[in-house]
Chain A
Amino acid sequence: MSTLDPAGPSASSIAALWWVMFWGALALFALVIALLAVSLLRPSALASIKPGTWIVGGGLVLPVPILVALLVAALLLGEQLLPKPGGAAPVRIDAHASQWQWRFSYPFIPDAASTSILHLPAGEPVDVVVTAEDVIHSFWVPRLGGKIDAIPGHTNIIRLQADKPGVYRGICAEYCGEGHETMGFEVRAHAPADYAATIGGQP
């Protein structure tokens, strides 16, 4: 269930981003609190710093390069995670949310019935097309990647990949009424060879 235990490329790169930000934030936090502590306990040590130096140093020189680098990195990462057209068209699965359940259907397999378990082929990207019946829900499988909202009247797509066959948990992340916490679902990633057979054989 944890985003820090990623099982796909999207969740992995986001987890890597998190750890970079975590250590960076820790260092900045320590710096600010250390400066505060020194200014309170030994003000003479910092008294020679001019007001302009505090403002330019702390307000511009310190944050600007960090923010710019972070923004560029995040933008590039975000672009990479997008469901872009081109290349091999990935498998498409429809996820339809209603109060309070998910139904998954598989338009690329002609007679596959819809299921309440999300079946994925392991090791390849999947585009999940998310829609909603009634109120807003949100599709989230923390170990595979970020979330995307299911909004009535809108169609949203998220690209996910499970690296290995296995069972993962998904959950509704947008508050949707009395049954919100019951709207979890199971995600099963299958070896690509058995995938089509598994879906076709679902009741």
Chain B
Amino acid sequence: MSGEHLSPVALHKALTRIWGTPPGLARFSAVNHSILGKRFMVVAMVFFAIGGVLAMLIRAQLATPDSAFIGPELYNQIFTMHGTVMMFLFAIPMFEGLAIYMLPKMLGARDLAFPRMTAYGFWCYLFGGTILIVAMVMGYAPNSGWFMYTPLSSGIYTPGINADVWLLGITFVEISAITAAVELIVTILKMRAPGMSLTRMPIFGWYMLVTATMMLIGFPPLILGSILLEMERAFDLPFFDPTRGGDPLLWQHLFWLFGHPEVYIIFLPAAGMLSTIIPTFARRPLIAYNAIIVAIVAMAFLSFGLWVHHMFTVGIPHLALGFFSAASALVAIPTAVQIFAWIGTIASGRPRLDVPMLYVIGFFIVFVCGGLTGVMLAMVPFNTQAHDSYFVVAHLHYVLVGGFVFPMLAALYYWLPHFTGRSSVYRLSVPAFWLIIIGFNLTFFLMHLTGLMGMPRRISTYPSNWGWDWLNLLSSFGGFIMTMGFALVLVDIVMQFRLGRRGTRNPWDAGTLEWAMPTPPPDYNFAALPAVTQRADSLDPGRLGNNLAAGDGYLGFARASRQESLGVDMMTGKPDQVIVLPRRTWLPLWTALATAVFFLGLLFKIYWVVPLGALAVVGLFLVWPRALGQRHDAGPIDIGQGEAVPVDAEVEDNVTWWASKIAAVADATLYASLLFGALYLAVVAPGWPGQSTETNWWPALGLLAAFGGSVSVRLARSRNADGTSPYGWLLGTAVLAALAAAACIVGMVQLGDATIHANISLRFALYAYCAIHAGIAMLIAAHAAWRWRGGYVSAVRATSLRLSVLWTDYATAALIPAWGLTLLLARSGGAS
């Protein structure tokens, strides 16, 4: 089965035939994580350049008082786009790209768990980002600020499509964040090298595990908020309108419930890179590995409890603010743990300086300063002065540039030899560093003072008599110095690609697995997967790399033109399945184009196109599994080293099952945000008179049907386990789920005019959510029936059935609080 033993060169050729992506048009069908990771990073750099040009326009406008360079109308678009581009189109995709490229290599896998999802996420990112940039070039950029506060961003005060561009474009891009989160978590938990228990995982894996989990929970509130605001703008459903039972503060809660964890979502991957780079240059393993893991998990928890510190001046009672103030200050503790762990690592090693370390030093200087102003801003009285002033602008740039851009530059110079296989040219990177650090501090350090002197953010111009003139001029000057530094970095990168010397394989003498392969890396990463017997940050990649290239390890062969990697037990790292990965395909591109049709239909209000786009997306997704699966039970197969395990389709604990459970968590977070919004409005919002309205019984009927579906799908599952046909019960499940969806839709119609009051529009949204999920349950049951007919399901290969149980139960569970809130909202009045 494993074939004869091949020479290293023959093995390389055989694996490249299976894993390779040919040049030319076929590149558009690539699903390989190395290709896509690099694409994410290159596109993110393009967006960084665009955001940088916007920043230069801002500094040009503010360099002098009473400036007439660009008027407020254009200025508002520019600062909104600067923030939006840097946060959503640069920072997040940039670390996603690095993680996509690097994680399988560090963990000892041949690809991520869902290569096609990687590709789909990339196209969503590219298309969504393009919508924003094209809109900007056409003059219709969003102009309500990057946090889009309502009512300024609502239909009355921003009537054009500018705000829709933001809401729809960003939601389109966020698909890539959710898909990346799911697949990074699954890959980290299930696709490590044999023997790499969780406690032996390189620290970057831990950082990305925590980050991806935060993305999974952090993004849904923003996506929900965007959907609600778009529904308000497009269909006048008053979720945020205080005259009809909505509340502008609901938007702020939803936005910052995402927005603050977002800062840590950006910082943690960067900190993970630092925790990887610093030990290499200290020439000793990272100290306090366990304490760092505890610190990042603590950070993740705290980060979800301090969003209100963006809202200290909205009129929330002071003692409640005290709680969020304390949480915001306490986040300094896990940060300090990491800072001192890094310094301690350097101090107890034999440190040497090189270009990456230069940027690490830059990180320390800038980020520590930003952390200290962060503690200041956590103090409520000081915050009331500094909030929305240039002090905050200074703080957030210190944190984000210090906590992300500097580590990213360090990472870039550290891993560039891995991408290029060449060694650095160096001549430009040192002056570039000095230009960036001097320019940065000149620009932003002074802004602390500008803010304390009373300059609010987001003003397009200012009079000359308030003492802000010279500060702004120097800030602008510094900004241009910094830009020159970034331009030099770009030139330096291009030069390394074109002129760099062919380098040695592990130029920094690092101890992690990504260096145990030729550089640039082959399409399959490892010709054989290593067995890990110690913490995977102090390995010997040179020796290991030669052994692996010779096929000495797990799966050191090419089998049946299948792309194979190993799945392991989540905790111990013992191999438990062969994961058969899908090969390159055009499906992700087609699906993303169909998704684009859906979003563009919404954007241009061509509503007949929208359901067509949605149907195309659903139809295409249902085709995805066709390339995978098998029609017979093969039993355990050889994986080398004298071991044999079954393929993933034949085990319960496979990546598809985990991905579904994890996706359900993201979905449930979105729903929880909606339930929170409904309760928040019913309890807090002005304009709820409190008369009862007629109770709508349709969701209760829907609940009954969905419950029937849950019973029916269980019968299907147990018949399948007995080896008899589940077909009838699966069809029954589909019919019951369809009935549940229909009941929810009738319930929506029965509500009448949902634009009258938030009370009705909330129920409309709840029923819509339940209808969609009953629809999903129907599709998955029908799909499982179809897969069974095709012979892909057996008592052992039962993933389709377990997915059907999961999503039918989800639809049932969603209807329970929907019905409860129906009863509550019917008594809360508002619908006169």
Q: Which residues from chain A sit less than 8 Å from chain B, CB to CB?
A: 1-4, 11, 13-14, 17-18, 21, 25, 28-29, 32-33, 35-36, 38-40, 43, 46-47, 49, 51-52, 54-55, 57-60, 62-64, 67, 70-71, 74-75, 77-79, 81-82, 99, 134-136, 138, 140, 142-143, 145-149, 151-156, 169, 171-181
B-chain residues with CB within 8 Å of residue A64 when the two chains form the complex: 333
The answer to whether A134 and B686 touch (CB under 8 A), given A59-B336, A71-B325, A78-B321, is no
Cβ-defined contact, A175 with B457, below 8 A: yes
Asked if B313 is at the interface (CB within 8 A of a chain A CB), the reply is yes
Q: Among B156, B287, B322, B379, which residue has its beta carbon within 8 angstroms of that of A17? A: B379
Whether A177 and B372, one on each chain, are in contact in the complex, defined by CB atoms closer than 8 angstroms, is no
Q: Is the CB of B384 within 8 A of A145?
A: yes
How many chain B residues sit at the interface, stated as a range, is 35 or more
Given that A39-B346, A147-B387, A171-B456 are contacting pairs, would A59 and B295 also be in contact in the complex, using a CB cutoff of 8 Å?
yes
Of A25, A52, A60, A82, most buried by chain B (CB within 10 Å of CB) is: A25
Determine if B364 is an interface residue (Cβ-Cβ < 8 Å).
Answer: yes
Contact with A along B135-152 (1 / 0, CB 8 A): 000000000010001011
Q: What residues of A have a CB within 8 angstroms of the CB of B333 in the complex?
A: 59-60, 63-64, 67
Which B residues, 127 to 168, have Cβ-Cβ distances below 8 Å to chain A?
Answer: 145, 149, 151-152, 156-157
A84 and chain B: residue at smallest CB distance:
B318
Give the CA-CA distance A148 to B389 in the complex, in Å: 13
Q: Using known A-B contacts A39-B347, A74-B380, determine if residue A82 contacts B318 with beta carbons closer than 8 Å.
A: yes
Taking a contact as CB atoms under 8 Å apart, the answer to whether A29 and B368 are in contact is yes
Interface contact A1-B466, CB-CB below 8 Å: yes
User: Which among B329, B385, B462 has the greatest number of chain A C-beta atoms within 10 A?
Assistant: B385
Cα separation A43 to B345 with both chains bound (whole Å): 10
In the complex, A63 Cα to B380 Cα: how many Å? Answer: 19
On chain B, the residues within 8 Å of A143 by CB distance are 454
Q: Which of A75, A138, A156, A176 has the most CB of B within 10 A?
A: A75
CB–CB B291/A59 < 8 A: yes
Kindly list the 6 A-B residue pairs having the minimum CB-CB distance in the complex, ordered from nearest: A146-B384, A153-B242, A58-B340, A54-B344, A59-B337, A181-B459
The chain A residue with its CB closest to the CB of B151 is A135
A34 to chain B, nearest CB (A): 10
Report whether A74 and B454 are in contact in the complex, using a CB–CB cutoff of 8 Å: no
**B464 interfacial by beta-carbon distance below 8 Å:** no
Chain A residues near B669 (CB-CB < 8 A): none
Task: Judge whether A40 and B157 touch: CB under 8 Å.
Answer: no
Decide: A177 and B686 in contact? CB cutoff 8 A: no
List of B residues within 8 angstroms of A36 by Cβ: 343, 346, 361, 364
Is B375 an interface residue when CB atoms closer than 8 A count as contact?
A: yes
Chain B's closest residue to A45 (CB) is B347
Q: Is A39 a contact partner of B351 (Cβ separation < 8 A)?
A: yes
Which residues of B lie under 8 Å from residue A11 when comparing CB positions? 385
Interface centre among B73, B336, B461 (most CB of A within 10 A): B336
Q: What residues on B are CB-neighbors of A43 within 8 Å?
A: 346-351
- Shortest Cβ gap from B600 to chain A (Å): 27
Contact indicator B322/A25 (Cβ below 8 Å): no
Q: Is the CB of B157 within 8 A of A136?
A: no
Q: Are B368 and A172 in contact (CB under 8 A)?
A: no
A-B contact pairs, 29 of them (CB 8 A): A1-B453, A2-B452, A14-B385, A29-B372, A43-B347, A43-B349, A49-B347, A51-B348, A52-B288, A55-B337, A58-B336, A59-B295, A59-B334, A59-B341, A71-B326, A135-B157, A138-B388, A146-B384, A147-B384, A147-B385, A149-B313, A149-B315, A151-B249, A155-B315, A156-B315, A169-B454, A173-B389, A173-B456, A178-B72
B373 and A25 contacting across the interface, CB-CB below 8 Å: yes
- Chain B residue at smallest Cβ distance from A155: B315
For the complex, give the distance between the alpha carbons of A156 and B311 in Å: 13
Distance of A70 Cα from B351 Cα, bound (Å): 36
